[in-house]
Structure 1
Amino acid sequence: MVRSWRPGTLALALAGVLFLGGCTTVGPDFQRPEVAWLSGWKGGSLETLPEGKSPGVANAQLQSSWWRAFDDRALDRLIAEAQRANPSVQVAGMRIMEARAQLGIVGSALYPQMQQATGDLLNVGQRRAGGPDISTTVLELGGRISWEVDFWGKFRRSIEAADAGYFASIAQYDDIQVLMAAQVAGFYASIRTVEVRLQIARENAALQKRSLDITELLYKSGNDSELDVQQARAQYISTLATIPQLEIVLRQTQNALAMLLARPPGPLPELAAGRQGIPKTELQLIVDLPADLLRRRPDVRAAEIQLAAQSALIGVSVADLYPSISLIGSLGLSATSMSGSPNVSNWAMGPSLVWNVFDHGRLSNTVLLQDARFQQLYAQYQATVLGAAREVDDGAVAFARTREQIALLAEAVKAARRSLEIATLQYREGLTDFQRVLDSQRALFGLQEQLVSARGSLTHSLIAIYKAMGGGWEEARSRPVVDDATREIMGRRSDWKSLLAQPLPAPGTDGFAIEPESPRP
């Protein structure tokens, strides 16, 4: 018995076959790139630090809020403000919103790509010479639908790329948080260092003013020469001359910090209420493997995820080499007001195939283009990891050697202060000339300057270590990406629905899967 198939049934059967077969995904599957030297890297100068080798439990503070180890509430408040209000932070947050919208655009490709409804209501007329005018009203309604089946995984690869782009934008947002914490802490330490230098300059100026007063009294009494007076005055004025330059540096650094906080230039009231002196603390325990520290850095994660996104785009371009298979359908209704004219309805449904067989290398070279871009990002990823390792080593060696320098300078300052006491006493007793006093004052001031600068450098190198290890972004994951005022403005302007209020994934639950490490994809 032979069974006849109606066209509609045949089309539906063919559609079912296409859907069942539409599970092929062409193009490379991304795997984590190999960094040949990283597995054997022990942290460089970091492992030479006693803290770096100390056993113990991992300190969560090291990863999430290392600056709290300085025990300075003013610094805590400034970093928290910069991580919310800085314009670069807000731009990074908007890029997350952009990536969310882009993901929605790309995801819509899994549904019918064309869904059109059309309608025309026309008054049609004709005027004939010597004859009656003819007019009629024509109504035409129609609908078209076209659904390209994701037979080769082109749309799934596009979603994979957009998904990776979304998580890359989050990693870049994390990186800005790390940068804000390090920059605010660095400027704060610089301000405190300049404040101490100003204090030392004023103290030395006061000391030298007393020496000038003594030489003037001795000169007036005939017991000293004018040369001693002029030398004392020159040294005193020279020390006073350093104060305006330090005040310039102080104000400029305050302005730089205010800019990070999105505030107008000027002194910050928090600095008056904060702890005086240069922030100092010891390096916290480090028990994580150096390779894990580097891979957790937001900039390294962002580079890796961007590489994954580009790998998916290779698959999109490969899919364009294959035929495009779509299901199309249309339905139309046409009616006129002309007497005796019938209403007409029509429909069409079935598969459609489009294959760019003769593209003259356009599609194949697009694959090569995307592959070349992948290789560029691969090289950039390697450079990012190398740069991260260098930052760790630079910070660690600076921290270790500056501590040694501080110990030596502290002894030198102690000796210079004692030398000045002896020289001053001997001068008053007439056992030595005033030049010894001047030399001792000059040496003490110079060594004190070096000691303060070294202590500031020690704090900066410690901040550099924490930044190099990528800590300081975790707390931002629990905060809204968009502040309330901006969310209200954007919500009035466009229909964002829940995208603006959607929270970021918690640390460690980003949801973007990367295959285990392997040689180059």
Structure 2
Amino acid sequence: MANKHLRAWTLLAAATLGGCVRLGPDFQSPRQDWIDHWDSQALDAASQQQPQPDRRQWWAQFEDPLLDRLISAADTNNSSLRIAALRILEARAQLGIASSGRYPQVQQGSADSLYLDRNQYDGAPELDSNAWQYSTGFAAGWELDFWGRYSRAIESADANYFAAQANYEDVLVLLRAQVAQTYYALRTAEARLGIARDNAKLQKRSLDITERLFNSGNSDELDLQQAKTQYLATLSSIPELETQVAQTRNALAVLVGQPPGSLPELSAETALVPLVDQALLDDVPANLLLRRPDVRAAELLVAAQSALIGVAEADLYPSISLLGSIGWSASSLDGSPQTVSLGGGPSLTWNLFDHGRLRNNVRVQDARLQQLIEAYQDRVRQAAREADDAATGLSKALERERILREASFSAKRSLTLANAQYREGYSDFQRVLDAQRALFAQQDGYLLARSAALSNLINLYRALGGGWYSSQPLLDPATHAQMSQRTDWGDLLDEQPARPVENAMPGNLDKPVNTPAPAAQADTP
């Protein structure tokens, strides 16, 4: 305990003579060395570096105007994105609260009036039986930031504010990828439904033929029952696919902020999903991983927690404040004096006996910091895994698509030959059934392979943080008007979304995040 007090007095003397001390660790990036030279053979094969007119809109590569409109509608109407935008405003207001620590913490004015009614007693001289007494005053108290408590709190709130922006961008990335995934899943389901209906018609014709042959005595019942079984099996897949189409359409409607059953424009066309064999990247994969919004958010949370250690450590040392007050009092009694009082001076308070509470709070904050460091490093590893998995999935899905495309052509040709040979009497009906079954399976598998390739391409863009930027305001006009009417927000509701990505790179956090954003400095309560 004596060493603790000696250290505190030494720091106090240094702070008094030389300025304020900032307790706690300055932020150090938790980035590991491997990420700086990380590469992936699968990613190299599935992508190429190429400057793009707008690198943030990867879906433009598909050249689908309807997808462009759906993503734009989701940006405007999706509830998850709106909630993320409101969390930016919440973090911005929290930053304003932390920034108020730069100024006197106590600024109180008071005014009192007291009515006095005095009783008369036997033998006492007569006095006024009632009077009013008035007083007013103002008191101020300013805890000096000797230990950096308030500057560290501002640093933490500042990092949390930028983390909220990064989380907004992460929601934007996930939303746009989900819209594209759902849109093309709908197109795939529609195409599979069309294939099932076409094959059902084809098998129905075979069933009709075998039924006529059976009725005329030119075929046995086995051919009829086999044809009927295959036709009904194919027919039974249609309701399931119709359900999938309806459910996927509803999911897409909700994503873009519409009620289920809407979006009639989706029925205007049912084009086959595009087949794109490579992702177009504008930077090396390692840099793209670090630019992912969720990775930046994780690093910013480390910065915010690092500053909270300094806030906790400041509680171990004396609180030094400047206090001042001015007061005036008077009474309605005749001849009563009016008084004016002034006071001011320093104040020192020190929690000497906390039984380990404050020291253990520092340990709590440090343990939380280490947890966030581990979470950040795991988030980077998971991001690299997601990118490598998506790249591998894209390459292998394209291989499968090429094989199944050729298999589909062969299956279609086999059915033609099997029908011809059956009509000429050179083969039995079983070969026709086998050819029909193979055609349906190969065509359906081909559509699924195309869908898997596109899905992996979208996952690759998402894994590399593509689609993080939006130029639209954080709040839609209706929400802006509603919140403005309910609460005085000043100019905070006009907050802009993301900064340019280069200014928001996690690498810029190699220095302490101790200066609020310009917008945050402009409106401190």
Shorter-chain TM-score above 0.5: yes
Deviations 1:441-497, CA, capped at 9 Å, x for gaps: 0111111111111111111011000000001011x1x21101111111111111111
- Bigger mean CA offset, 426-435 vs 255-264: 255-264
Deviations 1:64-106, CA, capped at 9 Å, x for gaps: 1101111111111111111221111011011011011111111
The aligned residue for residue 423 of structure 1 is 418
Deviation at 1:40, TM superposition (A): 3.2
Q: TM-score, normalised by structure 2?
A: 0.90
Letter in 2 for 1:104: G
The aligned residue for residue 75 of structure 2 is 83
Structure 1 residues 19 and 114 mapped into 2: Cα distance closer, same or farther (>3 Å)? farther
The aligned residue for residue 212 of structure 2 is 217
- Bigger mean CA offset, 447-456 vs 508-517: 508-517
The aligned residue for residue 107 of structure 2 is 115
- Bigger mean CA offset, 229-238 vs 174-183: 229-238
- Contact 1:192–1:278 at 8 Å: present in 2 too? yes
Query: Structure 1 residue 48 and structure 2 residue 41: aligned?
Result: no
Letter in 1 for 2:186: I
Query: Structure 1 residue 124 and structure 2 residue 121: aligned?
Result: no
Letter in 2 for 1:503: Q
SS of 2:416's equivalent in the other structure is helix
Letter in 1 for 2:164: S
The aligned residue for residue 322 of structure 2 is 327
Letter in 2 for 1:58: P
Provide the rounded CA distance (Å) in 2 between the counterparts of 1:232 and 1:332.
103
Q: How does 1:222-241 map to 2 (within 5 A)?
A: 222-241=217-236
- Contact 1:118–1:141 at 8 Å: present in 2 too? yes
The aligned residue for residue 503 of structure 2 is 509
Structure 1 residues 18 and 114 mapped into 2: Cα distance closer, same or farther (>3 Å)? farther
Letter in 1 for 2:58: W
The aligned residue for residue 257 of structure 1 is 252
The aligned residue for residue 268 of structure 1 is 263
- Contact 1:323–1:353 at 8 Å: present in 2 too? yes
- Contact 2:155–2:307 at 8 Å: present in 1 too? yes
Deviations 1:109-151, CA, capped at 9 Å, x for gaps: 1111111111111111210333546322111111100011111
Structure 1 residues 200 and 314 mapped into 2: Cα distance closer, same or farther (>3 Å)? same
Deviations 1:238-295, CA, capped at 9 Å, x for gaps: 1111100100111111111112122211152231235611133332333522221110
Deviations 1:326-377, CA, capped at 9 Å, x for gaps: 1100111111122222111111111111122222211111111100000011
Provide the rounded CA distance (Å) in 2 between the counterparts of 1:136 and 1:350.
34
- Bigger mean CA offset, 30-39 vs 413-422: 30-39
Provide the rounded CA distance (Å) in 2 between the counterparts of 1:370 and 1:228.
77
Letter in 1 for 2:475: V
Provide the rounded CA distance (Å) in 2 between the counterparts of 1:274 and 1:104.
50
The aligned residue for residue 395 of structure 1 is 390
- Contact 1:22–1:152 at 8 Å: present in 2 too? no
SS of 1:223's equivalent in the other structure is coil
The aligned residue for residue 14 of structure 1 is none
The aligned residue for residue 10 of structure 1 is none
- Bigger mean CA offset, 138-147 vs 26-35: 26-35
Deviation at 1:231, TM superposition (A): 1.6
4+ runs deviating over 4 angstroms: 17-21, 510-513
- Contact 2:187–2:271 at 8 Å: present in 1 too? yes
Q: How does 1:108-507 map to 2 (within 5 A)?
A: 108-130=100-122, 131=124, 132=126, 134-274=129-269, 276-286=271-281, 288-474=283-469, 476=470, 478-507=471-500
Structure 1 residues 204 and 505 mapped into 2: Cα distance closer, same or farther (>3 Å)? closer
- Contact 1:487–1:500 at 8 Å: present in 2 too? yes
Give % identity: 50
Deviation at 1:316, TM superposition (A): 0.8
Deviation at 1:204, TM superposition (A): 0.7
Deviation at 1:216, TM superposition (A): 2.2
Provide the rounded CA distance (Å) in 2 between the counterparts of 1:441 and 1:79.
40
The aligned residue for residue 29 of structure 1 is 26
Deviation at 1:28, TM superposition (A): 0.6
Runs (5+) with no aligned partner, structure 1: 1-16
- Contact 1:21–1:151 at 8 Å: present in 2 too? no
Deviations 1:151-210, CA, capped at 9 Å, x for gaps: 111111110001101000000000000011110101111100011101111111111112
Provide the rounded CA distance (Å) in 2 between the counterparts of 1:247 and 1:399.
27
Runs (5+) with no aligned partner, structure 2: 1-13, 513-525
- Contact 1:251–1:267 at 8 Å: present in 2 too? no
- Contact 1:175–1:473 at 8 Å: present in 2 too? yes
Letter in 2 for 1:119: A
SS of 2:107's equivalent in the other structure is strand
- Contact 1:72–1:275 at 8 Å: present in 2 too? no
SS of 2:490's equivalent in the other structure is coil
SS of 2:133's equivalent in the other structure is strand
Provide the rounded CA distance (Å) in 2 between the counterparts of 1:505 and 1:467.
17
Letter in 2 for 1:238: A
Provide the rounded CA distance (Å) in 2 between the counterparts of 1:97 and 1:19.
37
Number of aligned positions between the proteins? 494
- Contact 1:161–1:312 at 8 Å: present in 2 too? yes
The aligned residue for residue 103 of structure 1 is 95
Structure 1 residues 282 and 403 mapped into 2: Cα distance closer, same or farther (>3 Å)? closer
Structure 1 residues 397 and 18 mapped into 2: Cα distance closer, same or farther (>3 Å)? closer
SS of 2:39's equivalent in the other structure is coil
Letter in 2 for 1:107: S
- Contact 2:318–2:351 at 8 Å: present in 1 too? yes
The aligned residue for residue 7 of structure 1 is none
- Contact 1:22–1:149 at 8 Å: present in 2 too? no
Structure 1 residues 390 and 471 mapped into 2: Cα distance closer, same or farther (>3 Å)? same
Structure 1 residues 106 and 200 mapped into 2: Cα distance closer, same or farther (>3 Å)? same
SS of 1:64's equivalent in the other structure is coil
- Contact 1:333–1:344 at 8 Å: present in 2 too? yes
Letter in 1 for 2:479: T
